[in-house]
Amino acid sequence: MKAFVYAALLTLLLAQPALAGKGKNGQSGTSALSAQEISDLSYMREEEKLAHDLYVALDERWDRMVFANIADSEATHFSVLGSALARYGIADPALPTAGMFSDPRLQDLYDQLLAQGQVSVVAAFRTGALVEEVDIGDLDAAILATSHSDLQTAYGHLQCGSRNHLRAFVRNLEAAGVVYEAQVLTQARVDAILASSMERCGSN
């Protein structure tokens, strides 16, 4: 899923210069994770850092409250996944420097998203919405691939937060007169998210 979304996202960015194993309920604790679970958890940790660092940079550029507010939320998401890594004894891939990533795919993606978000405030809002769609899709895959209920719960909370973030970015786009269209997820799924109210999430 990550590879597909990453490839689709890069194609989308290049085409639009203006936008610059199923879980088994009940298993938890700290029993060993599979290679896929470790990969997903490590990747999601850095993906949350990407979102946080990007929104901080876009807030510095555009000084819009939505970026500051969601950056704070992403910091919480990042912390939740850091705790999970520690709980399972997995090395943390996250680098301390803002905008720097261990995974070269995420480094490339961050650089492109940041450049696109600098074009205009509308492009920045669309970039934020794109990041949240990608997060939702990657969390779908991570939830399905884990047999640990604690990770399923954590990912579910993060996904709930991403749905709220998507709603917030789209509200800002609509206030600017832009009709939002899905960028990665299906239009039907995005429409369903946007048609529903803001949610109360365990880790928003």
Q: Tell me what pLDDT residue 30 has.
A: 55
Least Cα distance to 139 among 53, 48, 9, 76 occurs for: 48
The pLDDT of residue 41 is above 60: yes
The pLDDT of residue 27 is above 80: no
Grade residue 31 by pLDDT with cuts at 50, 70 and 90.
Answer: confident
Q: Tell me what pLDDT residue 202 has.
A: 72
- Asked whether residue 74 is assigned to any structural domain, the reply reads yes
- Asked whether residue 39 is assigned to any structural domain, the reply reads yes
Task: For residue 170, give its domain range.
Answer: 2-8+33-195
- Asked whether residue 145 is assigned to any structural domain, the reply reads yes
Q: Is 63 left (phi over 0), alpha (psi -120 to 50) or beta?
A: left
- CATH number at 141 reads 1.20.1260.10
- Asked whether residue 22 is assigned to any structural domain, the reply reads no
- Asked whether residue 19 is assigned to any structural domain, the reply reads no
Least Cα distance to 183 among 142, 129, 108, 139 occurs for: 129
- Asked whether residue 15 is assigned to any structural domain, the reply reads no
CB-CB contact of 79 with 174 (8 Å):
no
Average pLDDT score over residue span 83-91: 97
- Asked whether residue 47 is assigned to any structural domain, the reply reads yes
Q: What confidence tens digit (pLDDT) does each residue in 96-128 have?
A: 999 999 999 999 999 999 999 999 999 999 999
Q: What confidence tens digit (pLDDT) does each residue in 50-85 have?
A: 999 999 999 999 999 999 999 999 999 999 999 999
Q: How far is residue 200's CA from residue 160's CA, in Å, rounded to a whole number?
A: 8
- Asked whether residue 132 is assigned to any structural domain, the reply reads yes
CB-CB contact of 106 with 50 (8 Å):
yes
Question: pLDDT above 90 covers what percent of the chain?
Answer: 83
Number of domains in the chain: 1
Enumerate helices (H) and strands (E) in the chain, giving the number of each: 7, 0
Give 188-196's long-range contacts (Cβ < 8 A, gap of 24+): 190/133, 190/166, 193/163, 193/166, 193/167, 194/166, 194/167, 194/170, 196/163
